Homo-oligomer: A and B are copies of this chain.
Amino acid sequence: MTKRYRGYEAFRIVSEVSRIISSSLDLNKVGDLVLRESMKALDADHTSLFLLDESSSHLILTRAKGFSEDEMDNIKLLGSWEIINDQLVKKKKSLIVNDVHKNPIFKKKRVYFSKEKFPVNSFLAVPLAKDDKIIGALIVSNRNRPGHLFTKEDEKLLRALSNHIAIALLNAKLYQDLKNLFISTVKSLVKAVDAKDRYTSGHSERVMKYSLAIGKELGLDEETLEILKLSSLLHDVGKIGIKESILAKPAKLLGYERSQMNRHPAIGVGIVEGIENSHKIIRGILEHHERFDGKGYPNHLKGLAISLEGRIIAVADTFDALTTDRPYQKGYSKEEALLEIKKESFTQFDPKVIKAFLKSFSKHPDIWNT
């Protein structure tokens, strides 16, 4: 049966859906909410979200809901159909097609339209736009349900929704872009610091990757993972304050040199102090050379007195140091390094962190293999 919306009901839906989809700036989450809410609002069998690739002016399928994997391959092709592109991207209009398999316009596309491979019997497609600029398209569609067709009222509702959807997607995209800019900038700068130390090229980025893998295995929440990400990436930033003659010395450090070098966690804290909310990342940086038995530096903290970030970065840092070639020592294999670290449970490392490290190592060997 075809749904009917009175004006009242339509605006209630738009207002409610817009609140739900704008409640996050996480691009994946917003995308999922858009699919779920538009499918629900239109009582449809599937939804597909396409984003416009500006260089090719093609609509690229970003995500869809309600299709099997095989079917998805054919849905992808929708974005390159001339009639969709012409109507939505060029004319900025909607398109309703009921009874696709009998529609003369689509008959010639028969190859895509065997009912098994293309399970869409009727669809409603609307452009997504902000300030008259097309950014993509949203298509709701139905399988062959008797009488289940799309109406002008459905179109009006989806067009009203589409304005809110475009804004929610663009906001999430802006946030994602800024996040990427931030992390890629910090990575670049940290890489330059690593480069001063002849033997730790790419070290900080790997330690970040390992720390996050352990953190995820420990089930840390998103916010704690963000803090771990930044503090592990910056754990060695204090090395920028160490003399080149010590930092790049192609031999084992002497006593005095070692004590100079050991100042890098504290120097790192001095550097990051100006960062917004720096207290969140300071402990990971300061405490990554503390030991679980209290014999580490700089503050000889013991056990759980060491921050979780410090305990995680310590394992990640050691794993990378052990598996990297040094002038005075050939790097261990991944497996040898793992055994070395395991031996230091309770002495150097927190056994709980080691357990998570071992789990991650066996579950995601790709992460630990670079």
Residues of A within 8 A of B (CB): 6-8, 11-12, 14-15, 18-19, 22-23, 25, 130, 160, 163-164, 167-168, 171, 174-175, 177-182, 184-193, 195-196, 230, 237, 240-241, 243-244, 271-277
Contact among B189, B237, B241 for A271, CB-based, below 8 A: B189
Distance (whole angstroms) from the CB of A162 to the closest CB of chain B = 11
Q: Are A240 and B11 in contact (CB under 8 A)?
A: no
A22 and B273 CA atoms in complex are apart in Å by 33
Contact among B179, B182, B275 for A188, CB-based, below 8 A: B275
A190 and B272 CA atoms in complex are apart in Å by 11
Q: Which residues of chain B come closer than 8 Å to A14, judged between CB atoms?
A: 11, 15
Question: For the complex formed by this chain, how many copies does it contain in all?
Answer: 2
Q: Are B181 and A275 in contact (CB under 8 A)?
A: yes
Q: Which residues of chain B come closer than 8 Å to A190, judged between CB atoms?
A: 189
Contact among B177, B178, B185, B230 for A186, CB-based, below 8 A: B185
Contact among B181, B186, B244 for A243, CB-based, below 8 A: B244
Q: Are A174 and B25 in contact (CB under 8 A)?
A: yes
Q: Are B240 and A193 in contact (CB under 8 A)?
A: yes
A179 and B160 CA atoms in complex are apart in Å by 31
Q: Are A240 and B196 in contact (CB under 8 A)?
A: yes
